[in-house]
Amino acid sequence: MRRNISESTVRRLSFYLRILEKVEAVGIDTLSSEKLAQRTGTTAAQVRKDLSLFGSFGKRGLGYAIPQLASELREILGLDRTWRVALVGGGRIGSALFEYSGFRKRGFEIVAVLDADSSKVGQRWGKVVLSDIADLEKVLTAESVDIVILTIPAESVPDVLDRVVAVGVRGILNYAPVQLRVPGDVTVKDVNMVLELEALSFALSQTKGE
Amino acid sequence: MRRNISESTVRRLSFYLRILEKVEAVGIDTLSSEKLAQRTGTTAAQVRKDLSLFGSFGKRGLGYAIPQLASELREILGLDRTWRVALVGGGRIGSALFEYSGFRKRGFEIVAVLDADSSKVGQRWGKVVLSDIADLEKVLTAESVDIVILTIPAESVPDVLDRVVAVGVRGILNYAPVQLRVPGDVTVKDVNMVLELEALSFALSQTKGE
């Protein structure tokens, strides 16, 4: 039933939801599209256009009813449920992510951690006992994992990726500096701050030299 | 002199460089485009196309000369120098970034940290003493900052961003969940793992419900 929504629209819906939740937390009930736009770096027309894709939330002169709109945005973004997440790679980045509480707040629960290092397998991290990456299929299936976060070295990715996809996982958050090739029904998002810094470095070098 | 290079090409150059450095570290001198492609998740034809933009590095049948190609890629990416970075926002994400050594390895040196919280101003983090965000212009100028990393709340961004741009900084790495509007000569890159997870959640919800 849903229309084809662009990545940048989805991004803005996340922005809107954050602001609505902050405003709601201080007891405000309604917010104008102008104020919502201002606080998310966009225009009031864009806010109205984005939100009209999903229904009619605002009242002229009154603004958006915050609790209702926030609730609707959570539902649209799939944040009204818990997502079961496996962390593949228990190294430095993996352990930092595991400790980050912002995931759980949004309903992303890390239910499994896998590593290839036999000295790590069996370690307990909070409620999770680290599994051997050799048991990937078994663990992802047993834990009904929806989303996999890859924090393994680039050269390990192709093999692991094939196994993750084969077992039916359709959402992947990738920290490895490698391009993932996946079937059309699998969604990949990349996060890598050093790569983003290198892209900045490239851009700055280009203009500076001319 | 440089051509207009796409973001995805720049991203792949970063991938290639990582693999070349790993291979070089184990004493291998040459690498074929096929092997480089395989380890970065692309095709040999794409590798050859990307690298031909910058010159002729490979020898037929011998592959790429690794030290020369790695050195050239570092120069292309602007990684043959040090970039002076200011961290604006000394909260949880800011302090985690500050401790992350991967920046410095690539030549990104955090030379200043700024925060609005007067209880943090004056704290010493390694070699850096935290400055008051009120002194932003003074600090960015005195420290000859090239790149600013924004790890402040979304609602503080518009004001701070204007000041960062006005002082002449042209590279921004943004962790705030807000869209940055900057002049054409300023480059912004965004990093936000929770937003990427929300985009995954949205994609998975969409297909699941139909």
pLDDT means per 10 residues, chain A with 210 residues, are 78 95 93 92 94 79 89 94 97 86 89 97 96 98 98 91 97 93 94 92 77
**Structural domain contains residue B201:** no
**Structural domain contains residue B64:** yes
Compute the average pLDDT of residues B152-163. Answer: 92
What pLDDT score was predicted for residue A3? 60
Query: What band does B102 get if pLDDT is binned at 50, 70 and 90?
Result: confident
| Mutation site, B87, B191, B197, B205, interface A, largest A CB count within 10 A | B197
pLDDT, averaged across chain B = 91
What CATH number does residue A109 fall under? 3.40.50.720
Residue of A nearest to B102 (CA): A194
A189 and A118 within one domain: yes
Of B32, B50, B76, which residue constitutes the final position of a domain?
Answer: B76
What pLDDT score was predicted for residue A4? 76
Query: What band does B105 get if pLDDT is binned at 50, 70 and 90?
Result: confident
Residues in chain A within 8 Å Cβ distance of B210: 1-2
**Strands B63-65 and B30-31, sheet pairing:** antiparallel
B16-60 tens-digit pLDDT:
999 999 999 999 999 999 999 998 999 999 999 999 888 777 777
What CATH number does residue B52 fall under? 1.10.10.10
What pLDDT score was predicted for residue A1? 44
Residue of A nearest to B189 (CA): A196
Compute the average pLDDT of residues B125-132. Answer: 96
Q: How many residue pairs bridge chain A and chain B with CB atoms within 8 Å of each other?
A: 206
What pLDDT score was predicted for residue A2? 53
What burial letters (b/e) apply to A83-115, b meaning 16+ CB within 10 Å? bbbbbbbbeebbbebbebeebeebbbebbbbbb
**Structural domain contains residue B204:** no
Compute the average pLDDT of residues B68-76. Answer: 94
Residue A200 to residue B190, Cβ atoms within 8 A? no
Put simply, whether A35 touches B (Cβ < 8 Å) is: no
Structural domain range at position A66: 7-75
A96 and A168 within one domain: yes
B23 and B95 within one domain: no
Dihedral sign (CA A92, A94, A99, A103): positive
**Structural domain contains residue B210:** no
Prediction ipTM score: 0.91
Residue B39 to residue A194, Cβ atoms within 8 A? no
**Structural domain contains residue B209:** no
Residues in chain B within 8 Å Cβ distance of A186: none
What pLDDT score was predicted for residue B210? 43
Of B173, B196, B207, the CB nearest to A191: B196
Residue A13 to residue B103, Cβ atoms within 8 A? no
End-to-end, the C-alpha distance of chain A in Å comes to 51
End-to-end, the C-alpha distance of chain B in Å comes to 51
Of B76, B92, B123, which residue constitutes the final position of a domain?
Answer: B76
Of A18, A45, A75, which residue constitutes the final position of a domain?
Answer: A75
Chain B residues 125-184 within an 8 A CB cutoff of chain A: 146-147, 154-155, 157-158, 170-173, 177-181
Written as six digits, the tokens of A77 are 């973004």
Q: How many domains does chain B have?
A: 2
Of B96, B181, B196, the CB nearest to A41: B181
Q: In terms of Cα–Cα distance, which of A22, A105, A180 is closest to B194?
A: A105
